[in-house]
């Protein structure tokens, strides 16, 4: 039987009465509804995601022995908040980071013991973590250990949308701790990139531009090191932080660059709006200093009457410029190398202790910084050691013995050279070093006469050198040539230059035209071009071509032939960049055709190579 009771309705209005809108109209109703829905949305957004445990929810072990690859990848694929308790999680394959992945561990920093550590134990030369095409990735309080097997700790490509690494350590990789390409909007807080055999952090234009990144309170130290090399650290070269043809709006705030085998901060190629604020630089370039000792004895560091044989620098600017260093501390034991075209300025503001130890960049300046007129090792500037410290002579005005340079308040100016340039002649059969070298009839007999003329000079135009004769020339050493001009050496067929060394040449140097060379060493050179050369004959270096000191070398149409005692065709070291195109490498002895060491990159195209390749902290890339 239906219930006869009805609900009691108080203040019930007659049905005929018109329903009225609240005061203010329907707009008030709509606004109130909008606000209520918005508050509901905010409350829903603030509900924390459930944090899963890598051990309890995915079966990881974390004892450093078991293979936790599957558990780690499943956790990443879940795109949840994952907690990784204290332990060592061994994985044997590359872990692929997905969008929205959030990993949080226990501890932080870089030490692999006593905290949450991801230990790579896969194939040598592999990548530990691969982050490609995603966003909102976060990793906190975790150490990534490359185990001297991973070439790259984290490969970061197009992982945008404010991704974050915080209290993360990356250590013991062989090429790059963190390699970033084609990325926008990312933050790195208290990132510790330490004790990697190659480079610490690299920003590269390999795939695309890198823009709008922030590094705050990070540490890039003791990279470029091999702790098992005769018990001596920091032998292999590697920078702490580098930008290679990349970097727009890159901010490094309160970071430390210390104890790296190479430079603390290295910049090469294009890139703009790089800000270093409040950073600390000390004891970098250890590998270069060690190589100077090996080559010139233990007193090499006290002999300041010659340029150093390596980059003794905490900062190397080999770029188009537009960098700002503000209130950054540069320890006096290291300095600054300035190279590049100088199209945009490099500025130092409120920087105590900074010394420019080599300057070929055309546009740099100091503001309220000590050392503004203390420019050391600039070609032609006189300086002497005094009691273990150095008294730098004031370089205001025109440095002695170095025409074309003028220093005023720390700003370098290049005076224009005559527009007609210069042509010089060398003839090993009929020349005479008492001649003036200005005509074929007045040719010099030795190429060293040309090298001596150009040493410590700025070249603003083309210097042409014509080499003839069949007699082998004596060993020649080109060094300390600066400027925006070119030295162009061509030779008649089979003109033999013997052993050639080229060091610290900032001007463009070209060697081409059927010249025979026994061996060629290139060290700290900005742009070297070799075309149509024949590398053959005896060599006391055991190699045909060796490239050091972050040099840039383009080799085309050259032939390399082995000989007794020659075990290496092309050897590259110390972050050098070498391009080999249309070359042939042959051997009659055991050895390697191409070797890339210590951060060097060799790009090959259309190569005949009967001797094989080898990498040791470097890369060989085929462009075919």
Cα separation of 281 and 299, whole Å? 24
Mean pLDDT of 163-181: 93
CA dihedral 380, 323, 265, 170 (to 10 degrees): 180
Element containing residue 291 per DSSP (H, E) = helix 286-296
Do 284 and 257 contact (CB within 8 A), yes or no? Answer: yes
Rg (CA), the chain: 31
Residue 264 in 3-state DSSP?
A: coil
The model's pLDDT over 289-307, given as tens digits with 9 standing for 90+, comes to 666 667 666 555 444 444 4
User: What does the alpha-carbon distance between residue 149 and residue 256 come to, in Å, rounded to a whole number?
Assistant: 26
pLDDT, position 178 = 96
Q: Taking the complete model, does pTM exceed 0.75, yes or no? A: no
Per-residue exposure over 189-226, b if at least 16 CB sit within 10 Å of its own CB, e if not: bbbbbbbbbbbbbbbbbbeebbbbbbbbbbbbbbbbbb
Cα distance between residue 612 and residue 622, in whole Å: 13
Read off the pLDDT band of 366 (50, 70, 90): low
pLDDT tens string 439-477: 899 899 999 988 887 876 767 678 889 999 888 888 899
Q: How many CB atoms lie within 10 A of CB 85?
A: 15
Q: With bands split at pLDDT 50, 70 and 90, how would you rate the model's confidence at 6?
A: very low
Question: What is the rounded distance in angstroms from the CA atom of residue 356 to the CA atom of residue 335?
Answer: 6
Q: What is the pLDDT of residues 377-427, one digit of tens each?
A: 443 333 333 332 323 333 333 332 233 333 333 333 332 344 556 788 999
* Residue-level pLDDT at 231: 27
Higher pLDDT, 615 or 67: 67
Question: pLDDT tens, 112-157?
Answer: 666 899 999 999 999 999 999 888 899 999 999 999 999 999 999 9
State the pLDDT at residue 107. Answer: 78
Average pLDDT for 163-188: 93
What pLDDT is recorded for position 96? Answer: 96
Mean pLDDT for all residues in the chain: 77
Residues 269-286 pLDDT 10s:
777 789 999 999 988 877
């Amino acid at each position: 039987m239906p219930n006869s009771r009805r609900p009691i309705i108080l203040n019930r209005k007659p049905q005929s009465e018109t329903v009225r809108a609240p005061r203010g109209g329907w707009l008030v109703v709509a606004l109130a509804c909008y606000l209520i829905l918005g508050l509901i949305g905010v409350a829903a957004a603030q509900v924390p995601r459930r944090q899963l445990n890598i051990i309890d929810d995915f079966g990881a072990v974390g004892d450093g022995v078991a293979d936790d690859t599957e558990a780690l990848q499943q956790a990443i694929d879940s795109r949840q908040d994952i907690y990784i308790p204290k332990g060592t999680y061994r994985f044997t394959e590359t872990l692929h980071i997905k969008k929205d992945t959030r990993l949080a561990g226990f501890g932080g920093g870089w030490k692999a013991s006593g905290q949450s550590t991801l230990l790579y134990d896969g194939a040598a030369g592999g990548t530990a973590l691969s982050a490609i095409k995603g966003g909102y990735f976060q990793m906190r309080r975790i150490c990534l250990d490359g185990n001297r097997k991973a070439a790259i700790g984290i490969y970061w490509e197009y992982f945008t949308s404010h991704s974050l690494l915080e209290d993360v350590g990356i250590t013991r990789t062989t090429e790059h701790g963190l390699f970033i390409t084609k990325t926008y909007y990312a933050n790195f807080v208290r990132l510790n990139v330490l004790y990697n055999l190659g480079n610490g952090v690299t920003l590269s234009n390999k795939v695309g531009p890198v823009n709008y990144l922030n590094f705050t309170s990070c540490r890039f130290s003791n990279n470029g090191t091999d702790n098992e090399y005769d018990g001596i650290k920091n032998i292999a070269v590697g920078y702490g932080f580098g930008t290679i043809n990349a970097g727009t709006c890159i901010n490094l705030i309160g970071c430390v660059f210390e104890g790296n085998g190479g430079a603390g901060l290295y910049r090469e190629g294009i890139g703009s709006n790089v800000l270093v604020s409040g950073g600390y630089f000390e004891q970098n370039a250890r590998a270069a200093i060690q190589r100077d000792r090996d080559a010139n004895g233990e007193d090499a560091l006290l002999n300041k009457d010659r340029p150093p044989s390596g980059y003794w620098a905490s900062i190397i600017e080999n770029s188009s410029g537009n960098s700002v260093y503000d209130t950054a501390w540069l320890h006096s034991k290291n300095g600054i190398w300035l190279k590049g075209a100088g199209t945009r300025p490099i500025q130092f503001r409120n920087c105590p202790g900074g010394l420019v130890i080599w300057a070929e960049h055309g546009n740099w300046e100091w503001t309220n910084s000590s050392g503004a007129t203390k420019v050391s090792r600039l070609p032609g500037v006189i300086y002497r050691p005094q009691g273990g410290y150095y008294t730098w002579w004031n370089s205001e005005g025109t440095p002695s013995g170095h025409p074309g340079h003028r220093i005023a308040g720390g700003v370098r100016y290049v005076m224009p050279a005559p527009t007609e340039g210069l042509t010089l002649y060398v003839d090993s059969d009929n020349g005479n070093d008492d001649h003036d070298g200005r005509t074929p009839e007045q040719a010099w007999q030795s190429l060293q006469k040309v090298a001596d003329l150009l040493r410590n000079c700025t070249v603003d135009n083309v210097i042409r050198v014509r080499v003839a004769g069949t007699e082998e020339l004596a060993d020649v050493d080109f060094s300390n040539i600066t400027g925006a001009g070119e030295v162009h050496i061509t030779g008649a067929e089979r003109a033999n230059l013997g052993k050639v060394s080229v060091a610290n040449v900032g001007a463009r140097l070209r060697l081409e035209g059927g010249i025979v060379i026994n061996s060629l060493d290139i060290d700290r050179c900005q742009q070297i071009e070799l075309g149509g050369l024949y590398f053959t004959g005896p060599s006391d270096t055991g190699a045909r071509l060796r490239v050091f000191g972050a040099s840039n070398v383009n080799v085309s149409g050259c032939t390399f032939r082995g000989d007794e005692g020659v075990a290496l065709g092309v050897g590259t070291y110390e972050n050098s960049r070498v391009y080999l195109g249309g070359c042939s490498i042959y051997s009659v002895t055991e050895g390697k055709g191409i070797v890339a060491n210590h951060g060097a990159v060799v790009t090959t195209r259309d190569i005949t190579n009967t001797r094989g390749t080898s990498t040791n902290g470097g890369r060989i890339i085929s462009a075919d």
